[in-house]
Chains A and B, each alone.
Chain A
Amino acid sequence: MIRAEGLGLRYGDGDEGEAPEVLQGLTFSVPGGGWRWLLGPSGAGKSSLLRLLHVAARPTRGRLHLMGVDIGAARRHELPAMRRRIGMVFQDFRLLSHLSVFDNVALPLRLAGRAEAPLRADVTEMLRWVGLSKVAAMRPSLLSGGEQQRAAIARAVIVRPLLLLADEPTGNLDDAQAERLMVLLREMNRLGTTVIVATHNTALVERHPGPALELARGRLARDG
């Protein structure tokens, strides 16, 4: 599913001189259907690694194979289809403010060109699963933080992604909400989705032990 060899990332266009590498020499692999915590202090490079895995940035060094595709060498027009197989839950949700919750969750299916009738059934079912049926017609800004979080997750998993990435998903949640979210993510993983969850919430990790990748200053400090 994921194979990284000497993976490195440097921000900027090069002409900004020597921007430091925020990720350096990462070598690891994650099998299909696997689970990984992504750990490390703030600024360690967790979000940056998730960007690479979400194909929102290309490696500036080394190789990254995702679902059998060499991301560094892939043609640009091949990437949108890959992104549609990857679900991403952003730290700041990134729901589209001018669309209803329903339309936000339906968006990935519409981008994939799904027909409207089956799509409506799927989105309705998904909203019921995450407990947002009652607010489906509302704008995201009217929702609580926890509800927005669940809308973002619904949008990420509606396409049944092969790979699900979550960046600090419990950052805005209280403990009860965080537990419900974990149940959701575990369920997705049990159904076959590869899940990578970035967090610095050590209590959460202790309650839900699992294999982890730990970053320290852009380098891999632990794999297992």
Chain B
Amino acid sequence: MARRAASRLAAGRLDGLGLRHAPGWRMLPLVVAAMAFLAALAMAGAQGAAELGRHWQRGAAATLTVQVPRSGDAPSPPAAEGETRRDRVVALLRGTPGVAVVRPLGDAELSDLLRPWLGSGAEKLSLPLPAVIAVTVATDGPDLPALTARLEAAAPGTMLESHGLWVRRLDLLARSLRLCALAALGLVAAVAASVIVVATRATLASRREVVETLHGLGATDFYVADRFARRASRAAALGGLAGLAAALPVVVVLTALAAPFVSAVPAETALPGLAELLATVPRLPPALLWALPTLPLTAAAIGYLAAQGAVRAWLRHLP
């Protein structure tokens, strides 16, 4: 009996406004769940864009192209001289720390590369084609300006192309994608906050007399707003949790599908089954594993702040 009275009292204190039965409140978790679902996808998208950008950059930054002109500026050097210039450069590259693989392209390979531009008769043009050397660099690559200077000394006219432009472009693309995903996150948060404000206003309207009575009994604005905000916060947290639960499988599948593009290991030919998918959950990018659980917490915080703000704004009509 006393226990029942105590629990009724506790409920009365927590719910000093009878909000449990307020109509506007019921759809709140549902809407917030949808928002949280979208937010989770946006987070995964941002994470994926970053990962993909890093991978592309790594690939592009890892290769250099070195061109050794056959003749330099000399009018008509013997073919043998070009060979030795190329060999000198190859030797120099192989001896450079930070260079992993040095591979001079053969004539056939070279004309294959040029065919789209020069047509199939490229060999017959008897142009003085430069020797081309493909270089793969290690993770901490060589000092490029120093290398350029040494190459110039070894064989004047040698050109080193570092793909820096492509790296910058890929970087820009990845950044833009991330920015879009972040903008989507911001938008979703704003929509969630607006929905909470609208629901709070509707509830205030239906509880007007109660709110005014509490105000008349000396309740502070914070006290009244806090009653609403706790409810909103709880509903939003619930919605956030549901949205996260709904989004998790989608994120896992998308991550698994994207894996071949971001991992160094070649893609398996078969699509992954359910068991394999579940096994990938702990291998989600760590940043994402940290970010996703913050969704319900963020939703709760947005719910609390939005409701507090809405109630306080409304209470300013009272003296």
Chain B residue, CB-CB nearest to A55 = B319
B18 touches A98 (CB 8 A): yes
Tell me whether A80 and B213 are in contact in the complex, defined as CB-CB below 8 angstroms, given that A56-B319, A100-B8, A103-B12 are known contacts: no
B219 touches A111 (CB 8 A): yes
B289 within 8 A of A: no
Query: SS class of chain B's interface: helix, strand, loop or mixed?
Result: helix
23 A-B pairs whose Cβ atoms sit less than 8 Å apart in the complex: A56-B319, A76-B319, A77-B221, A80-B218, A82-B218, A83-B215, A83-B216, A83-B217, A84-B217, A84-B218, A86-B218, A96-B18, A96-B210, A96-B213, A98-B18, A99-B16, A103-B8, A103-B9, A103-B12, A107-B217, A108-B217, A116-B9, A137-B8
Chain A residues near B18 (CB, 8 Å)? 96-99
B223 within 8 A of A: yes
Cα distance A112–B214 in the bound complex, in angstroms: 12
B13 touches A110 (CB 8 A): yes
With beta carbons under 8 angstroms apart, the residue of B12, B210, B217 that contacts A111 is B217
Chain A residue, CB-CB nearest to B20 = A98
A57 within 8 A of B: yes
Interface bits A23-67 vs B (CB < 8 Å: 1, else 0): 000000000000000000000000000000011111000000000
Task: Using CB atoms and an 8 Å cutoff, list the residues of chain A in contact with chain B.
Answer: 54-58, 76-77, 79-84, 86, 88, 94, 96-100, 102-103, 106-108, 110-112, 116, 137, 155
Chain B residues near A102 (CB, 8 Å)? 9
With beta carbons under 8 angstroms apart, the residue of A80, A82, A100, A106 that contacts B219 is A80
Chain B interface bracket (under 10, 10 to 19, 20 to 34, 35 or more):
20 to 34
Chain B residues near A111 (CB, 8 Å)? 214, 217-219, 223
Interface bits B307-319 vs A (CB < 8 Å: 1, else 0): 0000000000011
B220 within 8 A of A: yes
Q: What's the nearest-Cβ distance from chain B to residue A152, in Å?
A: 11
B5 touches A137 (CB 8 A): yes
Chain B residues near A137 (CB, 8 Å)? 5, 8
Cα distance A94–B208 in the bound complex, in angstroms: 12
Further 7 A-B residue pairs, CB within 8 A, beyond A108-B217, A111-B219, A137-B8: A54-B216, A79-B319, A80-B220, A88-B216, A98-B15, A99-B12, A111-B223
Chain B residue, CB-CB nearest to A137 = B5
The 7 A-B residue pairs whose C-beta atoms are closest, nearest first, are A84-B218, A98-B18, A83-B218, A103-B12, A80-B220, A94-B213, A80-B218
Q: What's the nearest-Cβ distance from chain B to residue A56, in Å?
A: 6
Cα distance A102–B21 in the bound complex, in angstroms: 21
Q: What's the nearest-Cβ distance from chain A to residue B225, in Å?
A: 13
Which residues of chain B in 1-56 are interfacial with respect to chain A, using CB atoms and an 8 Å cutoff? 5, 8-9, 12-13, 15-16, 18, 21
Cα distance A98–B15 in the bound complex, in angstroms: 9
With beta carbons under 8 angstroms apart, the residue of B8, B16, B318 that contacts A107 is B16
Chain B residues near A94 (CB, 8 Å)? 209, 213, 216
Which residues of chain B in 229-285 are interfacial with respect to chain A, using CB atoms and an 8 Å cutoff? none
